[in-house]
Amino acid sequence: MKKIFVSGANGFIGKALIQELKKRNINFVPGSRTLYGEIEKVLDWNVFLKDCDTVIHLAGRVHIMNETVINPLEAFREINVKATIKFAESAKKKGIKKFIYISSIKVNGEETFDYPFKASDTPNPSDPYSISKMEAERELRKLHEENKFEVVIIRPPLVYGPEVKANFEKLFWLVNKNFPLPFSSINNRRSIVSVLNLVDLIINCVSNPMAGGHIFLVSDGRDYSLKDLLLEIAATQKKDLCLLPASVSAMKFFLKLIGKNSFSNRLFGNLHVDISETKSLLNWEPKYTFQETYSIEHIVSFEEFEICNKK
């Protein structure tokens, strides 16, 4: 096997991926702004793809809360669609054999009701970020050629692990403060994925001959309620957790009043995915539990990687 080019190598998923590639002695080129600058401004990818036969494309404009640009959709399209397709076209001309694109479960939609999301579902993106991801997927699939330039698409839900930020980090903060939390009656269903399980799936797709031309959903293989999630976090921090009952409808109403309706949906709504096709087609199973993801071994390995990166 030749080298794997990893774009977005300095991101949360990228760091975990590179750590695992090192551990497995797989040759790779870590691509980041330090190497190629702004992705939308790269004129020639050939020099960066030398001796590579696989691309794992992680770089992109991420979902931004409280977006301030005048035209968010065009801002996302510039990087997530136009720059991605330009990169893929260059990779195809260069002779890259497999292009693995990390998309988002938001392409399927924001919430599930009676049934879990499947890869075959009609896309239902609802914001500029997810629309741009869907458009990139569609254009990439047009470039797919079996045994020549194989496109693989992975749609993860929320990805967690050491160094994760945003709302997931806030849950850790709440648990750490030992605040009584009014969530004991929250029994929603949400699929999430350990960054270690996502990385393991990505590496499986690199060498698996069955991966090309498919869209894969991924999760830890179980669903978490908000209550489950808080209990898992408390266990990793060895904290006692005080959960109190409260009216879910009242909490939803309050959040809607203060303009946090989308946050309310993420907190109390359902979003679960069906990964049966991913498991059967790739002969893959998620290996890591929540607790294993936050074990001393993995936290230390991430910290060591950070230190090496800063030297």
232, part of any domain? no
Q: What local confidence, expressed as pLDDT, does residue 86 receive?
A: 96
Quick one: the chain helix, strand, coil %, rounded to 5?
45, 15, 40
Q: H or E stretch including 150?
A: strand 150-155
Q: Which residue has the tokens 């195809």?
A: 92
Is 210 a domain residue? Answer: yes
pTM for the structure as a whole: 0.91
Q: For residue 103, tell me if it sits in a domain.
A: yes
Number of domains present in the structure of the chain: 1
- Residue 134 covered by a domain: yes
The reported pLDDT for the residue numbered 171 is: 87
pLDDT at 103: 98
Q: Is residue 249 part of a domain?
A: no
Full pLDDT tens readout for the chain, 311 residues: 689 999 999 999 999 999 999 999 999 999 998 889 899 999 889 999 999 999 999 999 986 666 677 899 999 999 999 999 999 999 999 999 999 999 999 999 999 998 999 999 999 999 999 999 999 999 999 999 999 999 999 999 999 998 888 778 888 888 988 888 888 888 899 999 999 999 999 999 999 999 999 999 999 999 999 999 999 999 998 888 899 888 888 887 887 777 777 777 777 889 999 999 999 999 999 999 999 999 856 555 555 544 344 43
The structure tokens 């850790």 sit at: 172
- pLDDT confidence of residue 299: 56
User: Do the domain assignments include residue 32?
Assistant: yes
Residue 38 CA to residue 60 CA, distance in Å, equals 10
Q: Pinpoint the alpha helices (H) of the chain.
A: 12-23, 33-36, 72-76, 84-94, 128-143, 166-176, 195-207, 226-237, 248-257, 261-268, 276-282, 290-293, 296-310
Lateral strand order in the sheet of 3-7: 28-30, 3-7, 52-57, 98-102, 150-155, 215-217
Task: Give the residue numbers annotated as catalytic, written as ranges.
Answer: 129
CB 75 within 8 A of CB 61: yes
Residue 114 tokens read as 């009676």
Could you tell me if residue 24 is inside a domain? yes
In a domain, 256, yes or no: no
Q: Which domain holds residue 150?
A: 3-161+192-220+273-310
For strand 223-224 and strand 190-194, is the pairing parallel, antiparallel, or unpaired?
antiparallel
- What confidence score (pLDDT) does residue 62 get? 84
Q: Which residue, among 203, 200, 144, has the nearest Cα to 4 in the 3D structure?
A: 203
Specify the 3-state DSSP secondary structure of 6. strand
Whole-number pLDDT of residue 303: 53
